[in-house]
Chain A
Amino acid sequence: MLRYIIRRLVLLVPLLIGITLISFVVIHLAPGEPTDLQTQMNPQASSELQERLRVQYGLDQPLYVQYGRWLGRLIQLDFGESFATDRRPVLDKIFERLPVTILLNVLSIVFILAIAVPLGVVSAIRRNSGFDRATTILVFTGFAMPSFWLALLLMDWFGVRLGVLPVSGLKSLGYEYLSWGAQLLDRISHLILPVFVSAIGGVAGFSRYMRSNMLEVIRQDYILTARAKGLAERTVIYKHALRNALLPVITILGLSVPGLIGGSVIFETIFAIPGMGKLFYDGVMMRDYPLIMGILVIGAVLTLLGNLLADISYALADPRIRHTQQANRSQ
């Protein structure tokens, strides 16, 4: 197992370099340069300034030199400075946005699992019942609904009309002066709408997935055996069937690791949440190459690690895979 992991880890390196190379080239294919934003269409800026900025940013060099320099710094874990006028280190910018994004995504995943798993299981057991049909309709409505539209409706309803929840942001003004309990309440009230809206699509998709998984498992012979043994229906469903139906969840969780640091621009923009999605979007619009590359690299690393993690935990959780591996090795 350990050898397998190390081999996978080593293989990640060329893969990662390949990813950065392609990303780097693609980003530079987009028209416009970071210096344009500061100098173009500005009567006060001279073309001399444009050239000076290009030299300062190293944009006067050929692309392969730029990539080489960037990679050289990356190896020393130096992500460079942003091309935005503030010239802050890319890592500072990313770490400033990361906690909020991770918090929201974790809450959202927990919410999705907490709702979607029971929903899917019950729908599967009571297949074609009124409940199943009702959830099917609801779930597809939720899936089809544009999240920005839903967000605005909820903000208008709960924030403006009823006035029970804050419209946007993460904290109220004067948060610093609240008591500990009030601070917690304040934070929760700000998180309710964003978490709900960001999770709604996931709940829809995941509960469908759960339902079909469960249906598949229930048809298996060992469930028949379990029933034939005279086990209680509860035990059959929640012990034997659910466990097996949950296996693919591991893969999904593994794949959602990179998603933890990714955000949605639309969603963050609407709720005025300073997250990774907006940071990345703004970076792209301003052609802030070091920032874009920094986020892409972190995203790529997490995706690759997430995949690896999913594979490993799959092997740990599913004896069939574990045994096949051992069998392969002994051959």
Chain B
Amino acid sequence: MRLLRKGLLIVTVIVLAACNQSDELNHPGVEQVTTPAYGDTFIEASIGDASTLLPVLASDSASSSINGLVYNGLIRYNKNLQIEGELAESWDIAEDNLTITFHLRRDVRWHDGEPLTAADVQFTYNLYIDPATPTAYAEAFKQVTRVEVPDPYTFVVHYDKPYAPALISWATAIHPRHLLEGQDITKSPLSRHPIGTGPYKFSEWVGGEKIVLEANPDYFEGQPYIKRVVYRIIPDVSTQFLELQTGSLDFMGLSPLQFDRQTDTPAFRRLYNKYRYLNFGYTYLGYNLKRPLFQDKRVRQALSYAIDKQELIDGVLLGYGAIATGPYKPDTWVYNGNVQRYPYNPEKSRELLAAAGWEDSNANGILDKDGVELAFTIVTNQGNDLRSKTGEIIQRRFREIGVDVKLRIIEWATFLKEFINPGNFDATILGWTGGPEPDQYNIWHSSKTGPRELNFIGFKNAEVDQLLEDGRRVFDEQQRKIYYDRFQEILAEEQPYTFLYVGEALPAVSRRFRGVEPAPAGIRYNFTHWFVPKAEQKYSR
């Protein structure tokens, strides 16, 4: 889970996004039955160049999406966001939830022909926890007490406490031991020329221009149909959109404006299918709970009542989104819809503020208490148009109930250093992206309120702490749901954030490509099964 910096990323990170509703456009009449064929090239654009193609070091979305095709993990999420085996054929979780045994496939080879064994998995684990490895993803592996390799195709992990997010941490890309062992990982040539086990092999990287992958004919799940994948680096989204209109791109995550207004032409529909589904990730207004003003729950609730969330969705996302009621996406198993909601209700808002002692005693339109006016500043980061627009709309609504709000938009690094890290803010508009794993320990646990930690609003609730700890200790979904349902109830009651909205991913895919099946996991989960009928193939090489 990472904080969203740019709205752009919302639309590009769709790999883990689930399907909400498919657009009418998705089913363009009767498709003739076509047989899968090999060949053709899939071209998509990325706003930034990849940084490194070693998954252990990469933390940007461009690198991650390429690494996703080049490497495999032991397990993965399937189309319904259930965990299934990838390099692991099966796995057993011991009775006490402390040991996981993975049974690896025996037919997997690295792109250079070497067989994959449990030694590679062990090496990957050691690589991540090595203090010399500058990786941002070591935390989940640090919970491991011991690993074992009883035979070349069995890998056993031991934990001293049950840790539910542990299982999905093994979706981490497995690195080739025979090429990396004993080397300085930061100087490995593999960062520019990766060798994995995945459906696509690395072919070419022209810095700042493009990255090319070729289908792996020996892929253990069968050769992917699309022969080549090209990532073109096009930093400007307007340019990407122009390229899309000329047909030079086969895939693009559209903005709501592009999706709604600019692609509603017969010419565009002839070339592309459009899809829409909810993203993992939400935007919120977070209150600094260390400020006396926000320590009164009634004030936070009043502010939530004063915001018209549907208005935000209509105004900012042109309707392509859903109201958020908590940290989880409405169409996932962990989501609890039966929580306290805050529909737009300015009267209720005024009542709550009056009950908290805020009244307009000098009739200047701004509420006050003990001679102090109800005024604060909302900060957000520069470069995210959705957030600044959201801020402006909220500002107006707050003014209507007599709350004087200023909006400040600050460059990202300054924003973190001067405002968020030192806790020097009243309220902030930000967003979180997540995935199917519901663990929210790092964002809501009271132990995570230190400097540079993620509970920067200073939320402390003993029951929530307990629920978050319990939720990580069990693997069973139904049992976990009990904990997380209660967790969502408390958040909804307390309103440390006003949860605003969940945006939608709005991808356009060239109509040449068949086999696209929207599912809770989005559309890219079955990319290796996409194909172009022989007659429609566009690129022969």
Contact = CB atoms under 8 A, between A and B. Distances in A.
Contacts of B2: 41-43
A125 interface: no
A interface bracket (residues with beta carbon within 8 Å of B): 35 or more
A31 B414 CA distance: 5
A30 B139 CA distance: 30
Contacts, number: 143
Contacts of A173: 41, 43, 230, 248, 539
A177 B452 contact: no
B470 to A, nearest CB: 19
Interface stretch (B232-240, B284-292, B390-398, B526-534): B232-240
A268 B208 CA distance: 11
A171 B232 CA distance: 11
A87 interface: yes
B245 A160 contact: yes
B187 A87 contact: yes
A167 B208 contact: no
Contacts of B418: 31
Contacts of B454: 41, 43
Given A44-B138, A52-B131, A169-B232, A270 B51 contact: no
A169 to B, nearest CB: 7
A272 B233 contact: yes
A156 interface: yes
A39 B235 contact: no
Interface in B427-461: 442-443, 450, 452-454
Contact of A41 (B3, B49, B236, B417): B3
Given A85-B52, A269-B235, A177 B541 contact: yes
B416 A159 contact: no
Contacts of A31: 413-414, 417-418
A85 B235 CA distance: 19
B452 A40 contact: yes
Contacts of A32: 412-414, 416-417
A71 interface: no
Interface in B485-541: 539, 541
A274 B233 contact: yes
Contacts of A166: 248
B134 A52 contact: yes
B186 interface: yes
A42 B242 contact: no
Interface in B396-437: 412-414, 416-418
B416 A174 contact: no
A86 to B, nearest CB: 5
Interface in A165-189: 166-171, 173-174, 177
B465 interface: no
Contacts of A36: 413, 416-417
Interface string A31-65: 11000111111111111011011001000000000
Most buried by B among A30, A32, A282: A32
Given A85-B57, A168-B234, A160 B246 contact: yes
Contact of A272 (B52, B59, B60, B236): B236
Contacts of A9: none
B138 A49 contact: yes
B541 A272 contact: no
A45 to B, nearest CB: 4
A68 interface: no
A11 to B, nearest CB: 37
Interface in B115-168: 131, 134-140
Interface residues of B, number: 56
Interface in A271-302: 271-272, 274-275, 278-279, 282, 287
A19 interface: no
Contacts of A192: none
A38 B186 CA distance: 15
A322 interface: no
Most buried by B among A36, A43, A166, A177: A43
B246 A167 contact: yes
B315 interface: no
Interface in A76-93: 84-87, 93
Interface in B161-218: 186-187, 191-192, 207-209
Contact of B139 (A45, A56, A97, A152): A45
B58 interface: yes
A318 interface: no
B1 interface: yes
A169 B138 CA distance: 38
Nearest to A97: B208
Contacts of A87: 186-187, 191
Contacts of A52: 131, 134
A272 B187 contact: no
6 contacts: A45-B139, A86-B57, A97-B208, A160-B242, A174-B539, A272-B239
Interface of B: 1-3, 41, 43, 48-49, 51-52, 57-60, 63, 131, 134-140, 186-187, 191-192, 207-209, 230, 232-236, 238-239, 242-243, 245-246, 248, 412-414, 416-418, 442-443, 450, 452-454, 539, 541
Interface of A: 30-32, 36-47, 49-50, 52-53, 56, 84-87, 93, 96-97, 152, 155-156, 159-160, 163, 166-171, 173-174, 177, 268-272, 274-275, 278-279, 282, 287
Given A32-B416, A44-B137, A49-B135, 10 more contacts: A32-B413, A32-B417, A49-B136, A85-B52, A97-B208, A168-B239, A174-B541, A177-B541, A269-B236, A272-B239
Q: Across chains A and B, which 5 residue pairs bring their CB atoms closest together, nearest first?
A: A274-B208, A32-B413, A41-B3, A43-B442, A31-B417
